[in-house]
Amino acid sequence: MNSENQLFKPRHSLAHILAQAIQRTIDPSAKLWIWPAIDTWLYYDFIFSDGVTFKEENLKDLTKYMQKITKENQPFHRIETDYDQAKEIIKIMWEEFKIELLDEFKSQWETVFSFYINTIPLEAKDRLLKDTKPWYLEKYAKINEYLLSIEALQQWNFATFIDMCEWPHVQNTKEVFVDGFKADRIAGAYWRWNEKNPMMTRIYCLAFENKNTLKEYETMMEEAKKRDHRVLGKALGIYTFDDEVWPWLPLWLPNWTIIADQLENLAKRKEEEQWYMRVRSPHIAKQELYLRSWHLPYYAESMFPPMQLDGETYYLKSMNCPHHHKIYWAEPKSYKDLPIRFAEYGHCYRYEDSGSLFGLMRVRSMAMNDAHIYCTEDQFETEFMKVMELYQYYFNLFWIEKYQMRLSKHSKEWLGKKYVDNEALWIKTENQIREVMTKNNIPFVEADNEWAFYGPKIDVQIRSVIGREFTLATNQVDFAVPERFNLTYKDKDWVDKTPICIHRAPLSTHERFIWFLLEHYSGAFPLRLASKQIKIIPVAEIFNDYAEQIKNKFKEKWFRISIDDSDDSFSKKIRNGELMKIPYLLIVGEKEQSTNTLSIREFKSKKQYEISVDEFLKQCQDEINI
C-alpha cells in the first residue's frame, strides 16, 4: 500500500494499537514480528508464550480493547537512536526476533534507528492501566526507566508501547478510525516464511474510515464467499486438481469444456470477421528458440526446467509468440501481404511461483486466447485500435463495467535485466501507444516497471464484482523480437523492412477468464455459456413423451437440454435445477401438453410464466445471438 494513501497512517498506527492490546491483556511476553498495513486491512504476527493461545472467539474482546486504547488519547512519539541504543531497547523489550530486523535495517538506515512510542500521563497511569497484566507493567517500568535515561520521554509521561518502526503514524490514537475497525480473523504463518521456523499467529484487522464503510466491505466479502470460484467450480462440476497429475494443472470436466468451447467458438468467429488466420504450434521447442526470443534469460524463472534428449535441450512452451514468429518466417512476405494476423488457442506452461498460485487465477497450465499481428508502421494505429475495439466488444458482451486501461512502461534501472536494453525504442514505442490512446479518446493511466520484456503494453485492469483487481487482457507492442528472428517484408521499393508485432489476448487464458466469469456471474452463466442450458421437468411420468418431443425440437437447434426423469420428488427436481443454476427449467404437465405450451422458471430473474414452445425456442435463439 502506498504510504501517501490517506488511510495508510491510521491503518499502520492501528497495528501498533493491536500489538499493545495483545500484550496488555493476552500475553505480555508475546513476541512481535511484522505489522504491514495493506488496502482494506492490516495484520501483526505474534509468537505467544507457552500455554497461551489466541482463538477466533477472542477477536470480539480484542476489538473492544483496541477501541478502549484509541479513547485513551495516547500520543505517538518518534525517537531516533543509534544502533547500540536501539539494540538495548529491543533487549529490554525482550524482542529477540527484532534483533535480526535491526541488523537488516543497519544497512538501510545507516546510523539512525527510529522507534514510535505510545504514552499516557503519569497521573492517569493507574486508572488507564487497571486491567493490564502485571508483568506488562513490570516490563514497561524497565523500558520507561531506560527511555528516561536517554531523555526520550518527559518525566510526567509513561510509555505504554514501543516498537522499532520507520513509517509515519498519526499524532494520537484518537485519530484511528474509532468505530471503523475490527479484529477480523487469525491465521498461521511461519517466521521468516520458512516452514522450519516457529509458527506465528497472524491477527488480521479490517480498518476503514467509519463503521458504514466497514459494514459495506463486510457485506461485499460475504458476497465474495458465495461467488468464490473454487467453491462454485466444485459445486457446478467445472474443474478439479489431482496430485497424481500435479497440483495446479487443472483437469477440465465436461461442464467446463462446454464453456471453454463456447468461448473459443466466439473468439474464432470474431477473428474470422477480422481476417485472422488460424495456426497451430507444438508444446515444446529447443532451447535455441527461446534464447533467440529472449525468453531465456528474461523469462527463465517462469519456465519449466529444461529436458535433455538426444544431446539437445528442450523447454515446454511458455508463450506462443516464438512459434508464430517461425510461422511468419517460413514464407517470404511483401508489404501487400501485411497486416498478417495469426491466431491460436495455444496451450502454454509456466512455472509460476508456488506462493502466487491461486485456484484458476494462477495455474501452471493454460490455454491462451492468443494472436500476433505483423504490420507496417503506417498500419500500426489502425491495427492497435482494432484490438482495443475488440476488447470493448467483449466487455459489453460479458457485462464487464469496472475496468481501467494501463499503459505499462519500462523502468530505466532494469534495462538489460528485466527489459530489452534499448531505451530509445522503449520511449519511441511508449509515445506511439500514448498518442494512439489519446487521439482516440481512450482513458488510461500510466505505470512504470510493469513488464513485458520486449516492449510496452496496454494492460486491462479489471475490478470484479467482489472487489478483486487483476490484469485480464493485454495489448502488447513488440519492437525488438521480430528483428532477432530476421522477420522482414519487401516494401514498395523492394527493400527489406522489419514489421511491428502486436501481441494481443483479449480473453486472457481460458483458466483466468472462466475464473473471472464464475465469480462475475456467481456461477449463473448466461444462456450462451451455460453448460446445462435447459432442463425439462415432467410433473408425472405420463408426460415424459411430451418432454421428449420438446427436447428433440431444441436439440435440433443445438441447445444443451435434458429431461429429469429421476425418481426424485418434483420439488427436489426443481431444487436440484436451481442448485446447478440452470438458466431455464421447463415444467410440463397436462395443461402444457394440451396447449403445446411450457411453464418456465427463469433462474436469473426468478420469473415464472407460460409460453408456447415455438415462442420459447425463438426467445432462446435470440438470446444466444445477441
| Mean pLDDT confidence for 216-222 | 82
| Residue 1 covered by a domain | no
| Percentage with pLDDT > 70 across the chain | 94
Q: Are residues 503 and 582 in the same domain?
A: no
Q: Are strands 277-278 and 340-349 parallel, antiparallel or unpaired?
A: parallel
pLDDT of residue 1: 41
3-state secondary structure of 469: strand
Q: How far apart are the first and last CA of the chain?
A: 41
Which residues, 6 or more positions from 249, have their beta carbon under 8 angstroms from its beta carbon? 241, 363, 364, 365
pLDDT of residue 626: 58
pLDDT of residue 359: 78
Q: Are residues 375 and 423 in the same domain?
A: yes
CA distance 190 to 196: 8
| Residue 158 covered by a domain | yes
Tens digits of residue pLDDT in 35-54: 676 667 788 889 898 888 89
Q: Are residues 190 and 282 in the same domain?
A: no
**Residue 47's beta-bridge partner residues?**
31
Whether the Cβ atoms of residue 523 and residue 581 lie closer than 8 Å to each other: yes
CATH number at residue 314: 3.30.930.10
Indicate whether 519 pLDDT > 90.
no
User: Which range is most confident: 141-145, 223-227, 314-318, 478-482?
Assistant: 314-318
Name which of 24-28, 32-36, 197-201, 258-262 the model is least confident about: 32-36
Q: Are residues 210 and 247 in the same domain?
A: no
CA distance 151 to 421: 53
Q: Are residues 213 and 258 in the same domain?
A: no
| Residue 504 covered by a domain | yes
Q: Are residues 296 and 361 in the same domain?
A: yes
Q: Are residues 510 and 538 in the same domain?
A: no
| Residue 483 covered by a domain | yes
Q: Are residues 589 and 493 in the same domain?
A: no
Tens digits of residue pLDDT in 275-310: 999 999 999 999 999 999 988 877 888 899 999 999
| Mean pLDDT confidence for 43-69 | 91
> Of 179, 194, 219, at which residue does a domain stop?
219
pLDDT of residue 4: 44
Indicate whether 403 pLDDT > 70.
yes
CA distance 492 to 561: 56
User: Which range is most confident: 163-177, 246-260, 564-578?
Assistant: 564-578
| Residue 3 covered by a domain | no
Name which of 225-239, 369-383, 433-447, 478-492 the model is least confident about: 225-239
CA distance 343 to 321: 10
> Of 520, 545, 568, at which residue does a domain stop?
520
Q: Are residues 563 and 416 in the same domain?
A: no
| Mean pLDDT confidence for 103-126 | 82
Name which of 100-109, 217-226, 228-237, 372-381 the model is least confident about: 100-109
pLDDT of residue 3: 41
CATH number at residue 555: 3.40.50.800
Domain count within the chain = 3
Q: Are residues 211 and 247 in the same domain?
A: no
Q: For cell 536494453, what's the residue? A: 421
| Residue 2 covered by a domain | no
CA distance 242 to 236: 17
Indicate whether 355 pLDDT > 80.
no
CA distance 145 to 155: 10
| Residue 248 covered by a domain | yes
pLDDT of residue 618: 95
544: domain range? 534-624
CATH number at residue 193: 3.30.980.10
Q: For cell 466497514, what's the residue? A: 214
> Of 461, 491, 520, at which residue does a domain stop?
520
Q: Are residues 448 and 502 in the same domain?
A: yes
Which residues, 6 or more positions from 170, have their beta carbon under 8 angstroms from its beta carbon? 9, 10, 13, 76, 176
